[in-house]
Each structure stands twice: as C-alpha cells, then as structure tokens.
Structure 1
Amino acid sequence: MYVAKDKIKLYKEKSCTTKKIELIWGDSVFLQEELGNKSTVKVKARGVPGYVKTADINKTALLEYYFIDVGQGDGVLIVTPDRKHIMIDGGYIRRKQLTKRNAADFIDWKFAKDYGKTKISLDVMMTSHNDEDHYGGLWDLLNKAEVKELDIMNIEVKEFYYAGINWMEKDGKRGLGPTDTTGDYWTLLPDTKAQLAKLLTPNNTGYQLQGQWKQFMECVTAATNNCERLSNVRNSNGYVPGFEPANGKVSIKVLAPIEEKLNAKPVLRKFKNGDAQNTNGHSLMLRFDYGKTKVLLTGDLNAQSQQHILDHYKTTNNLQELSSDITKACHHGSDDTSFEFLSHINAGVTIISSGDNEGHNHPRPTVVAASAITGFKNIKDDKVVTPKIYSTEISRSYKISHPDRLFIGKDEEEKKLTPSTKDIVMEFGSGDDKKRRPLWSSLVVTGMIYGLVNIRTDGDKILCATKSEVGDGWDIETFNSRF
C-alpha cells in the first residue's frame, strides 16, 4: 500500500489523535493487520509503527526519485512503479565525508528500516563517470571491507552501467587511455564485463585500470552479473537495456556520451584542456520518461561537452530531446556551463547537489540565476509555480548547542562546564589543521536534517518534497508536467 495524498499523518493510536510522523505521497505503507472495512488500520511506514486512516492509502505506486544529500558529489536512487531500484552515483567514500555518510547509508536505511528487508537488491547500478565523488558511495556498497558498517551486508547488484572512460596507466603514467593518431578521439572503451576484467591485469593493450578506480572496478566485476558501457547509440538507439519505451513503463534514454565511429570502431571525442574536462564531459546524460513526465540527469557535464551535445542534436534536428520537467544541475552548480544548453533543457525544477567546505564554492551564483532564467515559466494567481531551484546544501540544516555537563568514567562523575573549567580541552581536526579549545566554549552539532530532495510522480502530477527545518514535517510543492 502507498500514501494516496500529498501529506498524511502516521498516528500513535487507533483513534488517530497523536501524530508520530508525517508521510508524503507515494510513501510505502506496510499493513500490520487486515484492512477489511476499517476506517483506520495498523501499519508500518519509514520503519515506524502506527496507524493511518484507510482513506489516505491505496495500491497505486509512483515513480520515486531520491536526490540524496551526499555533500560534495551526486547520489540518486530511483524506484519505479513496478519496484525496480536504480542507483546512480553515491558521493565520496564514507571515510572522506564530513558526516561519515553517503548514499550507501541511505540505501541501507531504505531497505533495512523502510522496507524491513534483510537484503539490498539493486536492479541497476550506474556511475555517471569515473570521479570519486560519484562512484565512492557505490564502492562502499560493493566493498566487503566497508559493507560491515551497514545494517544489511547481503547486497545484490544485477546490472552495472558506466560511460566508457576509465582511469588507466601505462609505463607508470596516469591518464584516460590511448587516442587515435590525430589525438582527437579516445579509442579504448571497454564495452563488457569481460573487456573490463581484461584491463585489471597486464594485457596486450599495454594499459591497465589505475588507482582507486581500478579497485572499484574490481569490486564491480566481482559483485555484479553484468557490466556494460552506455552511449547514445548502443542498445536500441541508446536506451538502457530493460528500459526501452513501453506503455505504462519507465523508459531511460541515454542522450550522452555521444559515440562516434572511426575505422568502424566506437570512439569518444577528446575534449581540450586536460583529463578533468574529459571525465566530466563524457558523463552519462540520462532522460527518464514516465507518462507525460521527463527527468534529466546530467552528471558533471561542462560547457565544452554541452556544446558538443548541442551540435549533435542540432545536426539530427532533435534538440527537443533535451527538454525536461526536472533536471539535476550539471557538476554541482559549476559555472562551467552553457546558457544555451540550459535554455534548451528549459527545466521546471532544477536540483543542485553540492556540499560544504569543498573548495569550489558550488553552487555558483551565476548558475543558480541561469537555471531560473532558462527555466519553464508557469505563473498562477500571481504566484510562481515553476521554475523552482532546489539545493541539497541549502535543504540541509543543523541544530547546534553548547556542552553543558561532562560525565566521566563508569561512575559518571558529573562536571558542570563553565568558564572556570578551562582545563577540559578538546582537540579536533587532523594533520596541520589540529586545534584545541576549551570544551565549555565549543559548539556541538546535536541534530542534523539531511538535504534529501524527494520527487514523486504518477506520470502527470509532480510532487517535490524536502524535510522541514522544524519538527518532523515536510515542505512540499506540486505542479503538472507540461508535456
């Protein structure tokens, strides 16, 4: 069963008097007793037992998008109406996160607490490209040395897809592999699990996968049933296998990378100005279509690659392929972005995934402004319906307090913290950043609301939801697809 209204209450008792938590449209609700003709029913939702009004639930599952707050990086879980789970990116590995949390922890919560499962089963796992702030959280799910920190250690991944560009090494030098004789195209693009596995050890190409990317791919090839490269032309005109267009189903179209042919072999354009322009520029660009709705995920595309994509779709007279109701902003809101590209997307909602203290000052003010200016304008009753801009960083909030008392040892000797207790000092930071300060004057984070952005749709109506900064409620906005 699922929540049938924008917001409902999960109550403590059968009389539905005391609210425990708030649920939103499409949330899974697990019956704990027969439904019958009761006006209220005992259920479990989000791992919390309670009661709901039977008029507030139904059997209609929605398409759910979870834009996970992973700090600097991306992490998106998509749950289809037929309950397929698609994980795209996951943020940095957990131990490099300020909060020591990434998408692996959210997936663990989703299956263990929300679903009450003892096994995580992902139908599809994808990494948009080979940068650690995207694949790290996926690695934590697959790495047996890290998964022990999760509640569920039994993890199944059926299919893995990636964009084709790999970190490689040859003769001790790190790069993205060989190019053609002109230096204009990347030529070593492993298509399959067998071809990837070949690059994990010395082979006749002279190239091997390199560094942490190699370690990640070792986990991928060991843990998944199938690994495959995606592009705009592979598998039935660029659809993700198993997600081709079908009535009432979710389809996933691969709009980029733009694959070209050289001597009858697949190649990708080599962009100027270094490896980062190429790893980011050849990110997977995916469009999810369901009913009337279109949602676009763009990885870390940059202005150079965006122009390449525009040129391709102009040539084929298909620029409308870029239009969407909702888009995930390219590269965490970087200003290395094409205004023309954003104009053709013309998104009703833009979601920016970014973190604190990451050195890039994402999202950039010009891109936030450009996302609004190029967004689809829908005004009703003198109020802006769209465009809307969401940010995981802005949606994140903290509760900060002062330490009051210290309890020491097994006997919990109590010591009140005041300006006179300056001898109690704490040290924080690491390396050259280590600092000390009196505990009484320090600030402590005592609560945190992650900046998760929820999107739900039935194929026409779209709901956007973020956690309220006060209490346990939700801030929601709704509108209808324009397509």
Structure 2
Amino acid sequence: MPTSNLADLVDPNFPLYCYTLEKLTPVYDQANGKKTVAKLFMGEWVKLRLKKNEAPPSEGRAPVLYRGGQGYVDVSALSRRRTLEIFFIDVGVGDSILIQTPDDRRVLIDGGQTSDAYDFIRNKYRLDKPDHYVDFEAVIATHCDMDHAKGLIDILTDKRIAVKRVFHNGLFKRNDDGIGRVQNGRAFELLDAPGAKTRPPLAPLMKKFVEAVGAAKRNLPAVAKKMKKIERWRGRFEMPEEGFTFRRLDAAEKFLPPFDDTNRHLIIEVLWPRATLSGGEPSYKYYRDVGKTVNGNSIVLRVVHGRNRILLTGDLNAASMGDLVAICPGGVEAEVYKAAHHGSQDFTADFVRAVKANAAVISSGDDKNDQHGHPRAVLLGSITRHSRCEKPAVFCTELAACFQKLSAKERKSFQSNQLYERTIRGVVHLRSDRERLYLGTVHGIREAADPLANVNWKWDVWPDD
C-alpha cells in the first residue's frame, strides 16, 4: 500500500505530481476550511502548487491543482506512487478496457465499434494539445467482431499514439463469411499477420484493421523519435527489443509481454485461447458455427496486482468456458470479473462458481431496438452468486450512463429523430494499490467543457467500507 511522503520523489520528470490515497479524497476550498469543492477517487493525480524551489509540505494541507479546479488536500491523503488504474470505457454496444499500470505503462483491450474509446483516449491524454503523445505497450483485439475491433482502427492510425505491439486470437473473418479451413471439429489456418495474399481474402473490416496495424507499424519510429525529445518522456519511452509486433496470442505463452512474472509492478496472465497441434498445424476447437468459434476463442486475460485479480474474458461463451477451466490448474478465481459477452445468457453456472467474483463489470449498450437485450436477467442474478464477500456488486457501463431528453429546439438541430443525449459517460473505474481495490462510477453534475473533470461528481464506490 502506498504511503504519504511527498519528499520521496519517485518520478523526477513529474516533481509536482502526487496521487490520492483514500477511497474518496476531499478537496477543500481553503487551507483551513471545511468546505469541499470535489472528491477524488483513489489514484487520481493532483499537481502541487508550489513556488520555485519550495519544498512540498510535510503536514497540514497542500495547495493543489486537479483536473477541473484547484484547492487544498490533506498531505496525509497524498502519495508519490501511482495505483493501478483500469477504465471500462462506455462504448455502447461493445468492449473497450484501458489499463494504466503503476509504472505508467498502458494496455488497451478492444476498442468497441464507435469512436467512443478513441475519444476517451484523446481526452484523457489531451492529444489535442501540441507535443502531447501517448504510447501503448500492447493493443489487443480479443476477437474479430465489429463491436470489439472496429474502434481500434482510429487509435492505430493516430500519429500521436505509439503502439508497440498488437495481439489477436488468430481468427480473421473472410469475405466468404468463414474463418478458414474447418476440419474434424477444429478451426485451422490461424493467422499471425494476415495480408493481401490471405486466401480466402479478408472481410472488409478485417482488411481495414490489418491496414491500420500497418499504419501503426510505420508510425512507431517517427512518433518514438518525437517523444524522446520531449522532457516528460525522457527515460520513460522504451522500444521493444524485437521491434513492432503483430501476431496471435496464445495461452501457452502464459503472460502478455512485457507483463510476465518478473515484472514487479503488474502481471498479466494469458489464460485463453490455447491452440493444439493437429498434423503439425495449430488449430482451435470449432464451436458449432463461425460466430460461436470466434467468440469462444476470445483472448482471456487475468490482471494480477498484489492480492487483487481482475479477469477479462472478451466474448467467451458457455461452450468454451469449461474448456478454459480445464486447462487452468491454478483456477480462474478473481476478485473482479468482466462479464463475458456483455452480460449474455450464454454462460455456465460452473464457470461463475469457479470465478467466485466479489464484483462484476458488464460492458453493454443499446443498439437499434436493443436487439441483443444485454445484460440478461439470468446473468445479473447469477454473476456474483458465489462471491466470497457479504455485499458483492455489479457495475454496468450502460446503467452508469446518464441521458437527458432534448428540447424541441435541440431536436430540430439533429438530422435524425434522436430524443436524448448522453450527458454522463458510463465509465466504470477500477483502482488497486495491491491490497485495497475499489470500483466506482459517477453521477451528478458534470463540467460540460471537460467530461473527465473532477467537478461536482458524486461517486458510487464499492466496497462501501
């Protein structure tokens, strides 16, 4: 657990930055007053307002800037050390998960099918400002469905974003609606780096995705060169020894590079899919049809941070859940479980029992006529049934989002029959300091100019300790 010692400078590139220690840290309007102007979730950054060469205070309150305003924070509630931050981004129908590690590295898992994930990243890292860049150790498409992969295209092609590795499950939809050769209940032709010569040719979305990966590869050396010239990135940006990577990820590797069991900050385990050799060729189990096979072989990751484990399951389904459990001798238990397939009813009670989640996160949204109906009632009633705590919780991006009815005048400005606008994004926030873990969503009044500003937010935080 991080401790408060502002003289302990961890990152010399950011000598004025600190991070909040408490579940919800109050920001006061005066150095000695009682009125609060904001409450910051654990791990949020603040910037000390100090004069040149002024030492940070060792007691009392520190004057700070935070995203959305300024005020005073108790020194005892601040640390120089980061927490693990995970953002389950509200992308409507689909998944997108941003991981920011305690040593300031980033992983993106899926991108939804709209620009929502891209917009979130641009806003969070202020990529609209000159000389602002961001890098990702890995971008992962858990599988090739539109609501997971399409939103990655804008991210991969942005020249302010340095992507070092792109991983996928090896199954790419083709223009004949297949995924390659299927034989004896196995799916073959698992691809590492598909391209123009792939036969049958890739489906249009897959072709665009592969082209975007090519753009990311070409962009990496140029953006890396620019970032290394900027003071805030000095000593922080590292190119992989193997260079840019684009390939299939398999559970046989055990860990997501570079987050293996030697990493002292964070471990990310690869639990699924696992290919087997048939006649010397790798293949996956074929789950009845193309859709179930693509979903059932989604990349499944488990983030391990101290005693806290977060299980991320893509669009895993009932057919493949038993197979996953069977190849995991250490089990699939997790404190937090990102529900498979947006809260679909396509799950097994045995899998829920094996995970034993104390809290669950569901990424879902409405499409036209809500054709999928996610999250399903049976999933909501079952997902934390076998938790190990007295008061488990379920968070849902769709339920956390807030909408406001448009006035007649506002409706006239739209070209469609849209009646509502989303006023609060349904992002589910996770923080871990290796011992404590909190999940939270916001409600209340937002600062319209900056949807990430910490102004007038009210927090719903679990656990309520």
TM range (shorter): 0.7 to 0.9
Letter in 1 for 2:249: L
Give the corresponding residue for 1:420. Answer: none
Please name the residue that 1:158 is paired with. Answer: 164
Aligned partners of 1:47 and 1:114 also within 8 Å: no
User: Percent of aligned positions with the same letter in both sequences?
Assistant: 29
Report the equivalent of 1:413.
none
The AA in structure 1 aligned to 2:173 is W
Q: Which residue of 2 aligns with 1:109?
A: 123
Aligned to 1:211: 204
| Structure with more relative contact order (C-alpha pairs < 8 Å, separation 6 or more) | 2
Q: Does 1:261 align with 2:277?
A: yes
Q: Which amino acid aligns with 2:174?
A: M
CA shift in 2, pair 1:401/1:190, >3 Å: closer
**Structure 2 CA distance for partners of 1:129 and 1:479, relative to 1, 3 Å:** farther
1:388 to 372, 393, 398: 393
Equivalents in 2 of 1:114, 1:6: separation in Å? 30
Change (3 A) 1:338 1:117: farther
Partner of 2:323: 308
Q: Could you tell me how far apart the structure 2 residues matched to 1:228 and 1:296 are?
A: 22
CA contact (8 A) 1:298 1:330 kept: yes
RMSD: 2.7
In the alignment, structure 1 residue 367 sits paired with structure 2 residue 370: no
Distance 1:359 1:427, change over 3 A: farther
* Distance change >3 Å, CA 270–CA 109, structure 1 → 2: same
Q: Secondary structure at the match of 1:215?
A: helix
Q: Deviations over 1:345-372 (max 9, x none)?
A: 1111111110023311100000111113
* Equivalent position of 2:241 in the other structure: none
* 1:231 maps to 2:250: yes
Residue 291 (1) aligns with residue 311 (2): no
Rounded Cα–Cα distance in structure 2 between residues aligned with 1:110 and 1:280: 30
For 2:108 and 2:72, the matched residues in 1 are separated by 31
Q: CA deviation at 1:477?
A: 1.9
Q: In the alignment, is the contact (CA less than 8 A) between 2:143 and 2:295 conserved in 1?
A: yes
What is the CA distance between 1:468 and its match in structure 2? 2.6
* Deviation readout 1:52-108 (Å, 9 max, x if unpaired): 3323211121111111111111111111111111111111133xxxxxxx1111111
Which residue of the other structure, out of 345, 351, 355, is the alignment partner of 1:335?
Answer: 345
Evaluate the alpha carbon distance shift between residue 118 and residue 47 of structure 1 in structure 2; reply closer, same or farther with a 3 A threshold.
farther
Determine the C-alpha separation between the residues in 1 that align with 2:190 and 2:71: 52
Q: 2:96 is matched with which residue: 41, 60, 75?
A: 75
Distance in 2 of aligned mates of 1:124 and 1:202: 26
SS in 1 for 2:122: helix
Deviation of residue 294 (structure 1)? 1.0
Given the alignment, which residue of 102, 112, 116 partners 1:91? 112
Give the aligned residue type for 1:176: I
Aligned residues of 1:285 and 1:296 also touching (Cα < 8 A): yes
Structure 2 alignment gaps of length 5 or more: 1-17, 218-243, 446-455
Is contact 1:168–1:175 with CA below 8 Å preserved after alignment?
yes
Find the aligned partners of 2:307 and 2:62 in 1 and give their Cα distance. Answer: 34
Of the two, which has the highest radius of gyration?
1
Matched letter for residue 362 of structure 1? H
Shift of 1:247: 6.4
Does the CA-based 8 Å contact 1:355-1:362 persist in structure 2?
Answer: yes
Q: Which residue of 2 aligns with 1:426?
A: 412
The more displaced of 13-22 and 362-371 is 13-22
Structure 2 SS opposite 1:394: helix
Sort the Cα spacing of 1:343 and 1:116 in 2 relative to 1 into closer, same or farther, 3 A. Answer: farther
Q: What one-letter code is carried by the residue in structure 1 that aligns with 2:200?
A: Y
TM-score, normalised relative to structure 2:
0.80
SS at match of 1:372: coil
Give yes or no for contact 1:462–1:479 (8 Å, CA) kept in 2: no
Match of 1:422 in 2: none
1:280 and 2:295 are equivalent in the alignment: yes
Q: 1:399: which partner in 2?
A: 404
**Residue pair 1:400, 1:443 contacting (<8 A) in 2 also:** yes
- Measure, in 2, the Cα distance between the counterparts of 1:299 and 1:247: 24
- Where does structure 1 differ by over 6 angstroms across 4 or more consecutive aligned residues? 113-117
Residues 356, 384 of structure 2: 8 Å contact kept: no
Are residues 16 and 227 of structure 1, via their aligned partners in 2, closer, same or farther at CA, if it must alter by over 3 Å? farther
| Residue matched to 1:410 | none
Q: 2-side partners of 1:232 and 1:360: how far apart? A: 29
Q: Which of 451, 457, 465 pairs up with 1:472?
A: 457
SS at match of 1:112: coil
Give the distance between the partners of 1:90 and 1:296, measured in 2 at CA: 18
- Give 3-state SS (helix, strand or coil) of 1:321's partner: coil
Q: How many positions carry a matched residue from both structures?
A: 406
Q: Write the distance in 1 (CA, Å) between the matches of 2:29 and 2:209.
A: 44
SS at structure 2 position matched to 1:390 = strand
Asked whether the 8 Å contact 2:21–2:42 carries over to 1, the reply is yes
Partner of 2:47: 30
What is the CA-CA distance between 1:116 and the residue it aligns to? 9.9
AA at the equivalent of 2:143: H
SS of match in other structure, 1:23: strand
Shift of 1:308: 2.4
Q: In 1, distance between residues paired with 2:149 and 2:73?
A: 39
2:31 corresponds to 1:2: no
Q: 2:90, 2:55 → 1: CA distance?
A: 36
User: Contact conserved, 1:111 with 1:117, CA < 8 A, in 2?
Assistant: no
Unmatched 5+ stretches in structure 1? 95-101, 148-152, 407-424, 436-441
The residue number in structure 1 matching 2:76 is 55
Q: Of 130, 151, 161, which aligns to 1:137?
A: 151
Q: Displacement, 1:231?
A: 1.1
User: Whole-Å Cα distance in 2 between the matches of residues 103 and 296 of structure 1?
Assistant: 20
Is the counterpart of residue 200 in structure 1 residue 195 in structure 2?
Answer: yes
Q: Does 1:185 align with 2:171?
A: no
Give the corresponding residue for 1:419. none
Quote the Cα distance in structure 2 between the aligned partners of 1:116 and 1:245.
37
For 1:124, give the aligned amino acid.
A
Aligned-pair distance for 1:16? 5.2
TM-score, normalising length: structure 1: 0.78
Query: Counterparts of 1:35 and 1:365 in 2: how far apart (Å)?
Result: 55
Whether the 8 Å contact between 1:461 and 1:478 is mirrored in structure 2 is: no
Change (3 A) 1:114 1:365: farther
1:429-444 aligned at under 5 Å gives the runs: none
Counterparts of residues 6-17 of structure 1 (less than 5 Å): 6-12=23-29
Cα distance between partner residues in 2 of 1:190 and 1:7: 46
2:186 counterpart of 1:176: no
Contact 2:303 2:310 in 1 (8 A): yes
Query: Could you say which structure has the higher strand fraction?
Result: 1
- 1:341 is matched by which residue type in structure 2? F
Secondary structure at the residue paired with 1:308? helix
Q: How many Å separate the matches in 2 of 1:41 and 1:463?
A: 25
Counterpart in 2 of 1:271? 287
